[in-house]
């Protein structure tokens, strides 16, 4: 008995979720479901023919070469002492205030996330540096670990971000434009997180005691020590924004500058460099394998027209476009409890994006002010930033909450439940940020438009 294509697609999605829930690596789960689904639809030879060229076609894409470059940049940065310099400077500026050391940890996470582009690396690296200081000043365990777990999510959105790059490739958006669009929402995240800490210590003053104020010499030294890191960030992203080079050469420039920084400071030995290369190879291999699995699932779902059917069904439901957007964002938050951010973007965006295009007035509605009241190109940017913010929430949402597990492994004297309680105020702050960006899309779209107007 032959199955209806849509029924087959639903079975495939259910099988994929079940395999992920059973802790099968996401790449293998997607390869299995995509391969078997295509075999059922079109026979085994179709899959064999796909696999002959699919991997090469995917991995030889020049646009993907930016991924290992930014991964290597982050891996080297984690071993050069950049994070210490950033936290020391932030603590010199903020540590004197009640809750100031936790605020400094947030600022340090933002700065290091801008260099590393990885949330887990940001949480792990800053956790090792900031936790001893937070303990020294007798911060409540929930605030100390919660602020670091939440601060780690800044690595996803603040450019350069590997997940943002992958999203751009999926929806065929301009990477540079997305980097520009992420700047103001990223700055808002830092402001909202610092405000959250201020509110927590206002309600519970004992949770975040005042730290020691830095003397003049320490303040100047700490500030000067941060300038090279800010310089690297400015040269890499400034050069990309100014059009001196595109993201791939820009990432290579970043690797060279971070390497030079480590050599000048004598904080990067041969062993650390080799370890960084191994980490880059492992991480890049994992990302590429997930990309292959996602492409197989995408081909399977395209053959049965699952994304088009979903778009048509939602379009006929009579729901308002904004209601659909909010439902999709809520679905991303729920999926964040099951899988990591990169896997979620690769798996879900190919389904969600056609739905939003349909709600915005049709596939070819470039510049058409129906639906969300913006062009399809602007919708790519706006939705991408919103999607990445809610994907961030998966890193601090039970039961997965990878950032919480990372910080809990470093703070063994703080129960994991306290860390989850500690991230809840930051979770609420993120929901407020999403609401603000939904209400005011210009906060996402203004900077790219302004920079384009200057060129």
The better pLDDT of the pair 24, 150 is held by: 150
- Position 28 scores a pLDDT of 87
Q: CA 403, CA 34: separation in Å to the nearest integer?
A: 30
Q: Using CA atoms in the order 225, 231, 232, 234, what is the torsion angle rounded to 10 degrees?
A: 150
pLDDT band, very low/low/confident/very high, at 156 (cuts 50, 70, 90): confident
Encode pLDDT of 157-195 as tens digits.
888 888 888 888 888 888 889 999 999 999 999 999 999
Banded pLDDT at 3 (limits 50, 70, 90): low
User: What local confidence, expressed as pLDDT, does residue 1 receive?
Assistant: 43
With cut-offs at 50, 70 and 90, classify the pLDDT of residue 370.
Answer: low
Q: Residue 217 pLDDT more than 60?
A: yes
| Ranges of each domain in the chain | 1-55+290-303, 64-282
Average pLDDT in the chain: 84
Q: State how far the Cα of 340 lies from the Cα of 166, in Å rounded to an integer.
A: 14
Which residue has better confidence, 51 or 425?
A: 425
More confident residue, 155 or 127: 127
Query: What pTM does this model have?
Result: 0.86
């Amino acid at each position: 008995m032959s199955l209806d294509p849509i029924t087959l697609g639903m079975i495939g999605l259910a099988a994929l979720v079940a395999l992920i829930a059973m802790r099968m690596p996401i790449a293998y789960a997607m390869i299995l479901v995509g391969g078997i689904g295509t075999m059922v639809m079109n026979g085994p030879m179709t899959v064999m023919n796909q696999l002959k060229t699919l991997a090469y076609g995917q991995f030889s894409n020049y646009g993907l070469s930016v991924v290992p470059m930014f991964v290597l940049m982050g891996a080297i940065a984690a071993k050069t002492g950049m994070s210490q310099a950033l936290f020391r400077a932030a603590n010199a500026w903020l540590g004197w205030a009640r809750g100031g050391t936790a605020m400094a940890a947030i600022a340090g996470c933002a700065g290091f996330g801008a260099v590393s582009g990885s949330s887990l690396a940001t949480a792990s690296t800053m956790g090792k540096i900031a936790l001893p200081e937070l303990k020294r000043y007798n911060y409540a365990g929930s605030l100390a670990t919660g602020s670091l777990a939440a601060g780690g999510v800044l690595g996803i959105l603040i450019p350069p971000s590997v997940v943002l790059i992958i999203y751009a490739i999926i929806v065929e958006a301009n990477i540079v434009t997305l980097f520009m669009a992420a700047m103001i929402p990223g700055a808002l995240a830092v402001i909202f997180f610092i405000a959250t800490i201020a509110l927590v210590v206002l309600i519970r003053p004992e949770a975040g005691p005042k730290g020691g104020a830095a003397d003049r010499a320490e303040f100047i030294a700490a500030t000067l020590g941060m300038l090279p890191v800010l310089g690297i960030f400015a040269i890499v992203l400034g050069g990309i924004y100014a059009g001196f080079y595109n993201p791939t050469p820009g990432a290579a420039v970043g690797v060279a500058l971070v390497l030079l920084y480590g050599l000048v400071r004598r904080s990067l030995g041969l062993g650390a460099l080799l370890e960084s290369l191994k980490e880059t190879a492992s991480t890049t291999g994992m990302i590429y394998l997930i990309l292959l699995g996602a492409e197989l699932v995408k081909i399977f779902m395209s053959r049965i027209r699952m994304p088009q059917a979903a778009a048509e069904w939602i379009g006929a439901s009579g729901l308002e476009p904004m209601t659909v957007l909010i439902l999709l964002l809520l679905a991303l938050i729920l999926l964040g409890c099951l899988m990591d951010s990169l896997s979620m973007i690769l798996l879900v965006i190919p389904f969600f994006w056609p739905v939003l295009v349909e709600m915005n007035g049709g596939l070819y509605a470039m510049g058409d002010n129906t639906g969300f009241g913006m062009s399809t190109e602007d919708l790519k940017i706006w939705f991408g930033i919103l999607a990445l913010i809610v994907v961030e929430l998966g890193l601090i949402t039970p039961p997965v909450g990878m950032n919480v597990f990372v910080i809990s492994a470093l703070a063994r004297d703080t129960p994991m439940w306290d860390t989850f309680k500690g991230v809840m105020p930051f979770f609420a702050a993120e929901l407020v940020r999403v609401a603000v960006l939904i209400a005011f899309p210009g906060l996402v779209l203004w900077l790219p438009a302004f920079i384009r107007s200057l060129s």
